[in-house]
């Protein structure tokens, strides 16, 4: 069916009328969205500078910035919707219904948010510290609204939900300035333990990284299958823990060899029994 000239003219008139009626509002909403986006970025940038200037804890700064970013975007979207003519009452009702549905669907995320708040309040760890949690050992890179990022020592980044961190055990390896170095070693049966203790303590005393107080100790802890088991303990700065351990493992081996202290290896005695006497 062909449209009449009058019908086409009416449609064109309505289209032009709609363009002039809706166009400015739509353009205003787009401009508001673009300007609002720029303002949010500007405010967050200024906030980051202020937090840095006043030396606010980095964990709190990251969390607060992320939270404020979310709030500002919600406010901006409400403003854009209002500009487009949506009634505030209807919009609030839609947000309320959507919030309830999202809350039910994202219970885990809400738990992560609450966990992030607890982490920032009680500070079991901070950005830059080394922790062991949820099967991960590494340095904390950031604490965000929902997740904490931990960088392993092999440079992998693990993202852990804040809820899991807040409700489970966390080992903080950086909170104290000193750490204890534990070295386990075995010596052969028949070894003079007093001599071994003297060699061990004199060797450790040569390492300036090892603290004099508490003083290093060597203790006999048990009878192994092929060795007398010893534990050696000393204290050092947290940053020197692994270098002290690795260096002294090698140094103690050399000291044992120089003093004829045998480091045993597993051995078995095999005896043959012949029912009819020893064979020739």
Task: Give yes or no for residue 94 having a pLDDT over 70.
Answer: no
Let me know: does 152 contact 122? Beta carbons within 8 Å.
Answer: no
Task: State residue 58's pLDDT score.
Answer: 67
CATH T-level assignment (fold) for domain 115-172: SH3 type barrels. (2.30.30)
Give the model's pLDDT for residue 97: 65
Residues contacting residue 111 through CB under 8 Å, at least 6 positions apart: 161, 163
Mind listing the pLDDT tens digit for each residue in 21-75? 666 777 788 888 888 889 888 888 888 888 777 666 666 677 778 778 888 887 8
pLDDT in tens, 187-240: 999 999 999 999 999 999 999 999 999 999 999 999 988 899 999 999 999 989
CATH class belonging to 13-105: mainly alpha
For position 12, what pLDDT does the model report?
59
178-258: CATH class: alpha beta
What's the rounded Cα separation, in Å, for the pair 78 and 69? 14
- Taken in order 258, 261, 267, 270, is the CA torsion positive or negative? positive
The residues spanned by each domain of the chain are: 13-105, 115-172, 178-258
At 120, which helix (H) or strand (E)?
helix 107-122
CA distances from 120 to 60, 125, 176, 246 (A): 6, 9, 19, 35
Q: Which helix (H) or strand (E) holds 228?
A: strand 228-237
Are 233 and 184 in contact by the 8 Å Cβ rule? The answer is no
Q: Is there a contact between 59 and 118 (Cβ–Cβ < 8 Å)?
A: no
- Tokens 């980051």 belong to residue: 48
Number of neighbours of residue 39 by Cβ within 10 angstroms = 12
Average pLDDT in the chain = 82
């Amino acid at each position: 069916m062909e449209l009449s000239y009058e019908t086409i003219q009416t449609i064109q008139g309505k289209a032009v009328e709609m363009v002039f009626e809706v166009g400015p509002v739509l353009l205003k909403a787009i401009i508001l969205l673009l300007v609002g986006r720029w303002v949010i970025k500007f405010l967050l940038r200024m906030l980051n500078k202020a937090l840095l200037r006043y030396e606010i804890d980095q964990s709190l700064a990251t969390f607060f910035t992320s939270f404020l970013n979310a709030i500002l975007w919600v406010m901006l979207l409400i403003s854009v919707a209002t500009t487009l003519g949506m009634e505030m009452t209807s919009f609030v009702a839609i947000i309320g219904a959507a919030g309830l549905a999202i809350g039910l669907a994202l219970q885990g995320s809400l738990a992560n948010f609450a966990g992030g708040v607890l982490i920032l309040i009680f500070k079991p760890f901070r950005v830059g510290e080394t922790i062991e949690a949820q099967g991960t050992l590494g340095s904390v890179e950031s604490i965000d609204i929902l997740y904490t990022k931990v960088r392993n020592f092999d440079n992998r980044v693990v993202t852990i939900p804040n809820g899991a961190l807040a409700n489970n055990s966390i080992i903080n390896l950086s909170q104290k300035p000193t750490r204890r170095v534990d070295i386990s070693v075995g010596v052969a049966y028949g070894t003079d333990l007093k001599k071994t203790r003297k060699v061990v303590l004199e060797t450790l005393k040569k390492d300036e990284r090892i603290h004099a107080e508490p003083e290093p100790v060597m203790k006999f802890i048990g009878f192994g299958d092929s060795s007398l088991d010893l534990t050696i303990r000393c204290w050092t700065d947290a940053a020197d823990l692994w270098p002290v351990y690795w260096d002294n493992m090698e140094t103690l081996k050399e000291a044992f060899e120089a003093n004829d202290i045998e480091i045993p290896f597993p051995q078995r005695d095999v005896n043959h029994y012949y029912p009819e006497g020893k064979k020739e």
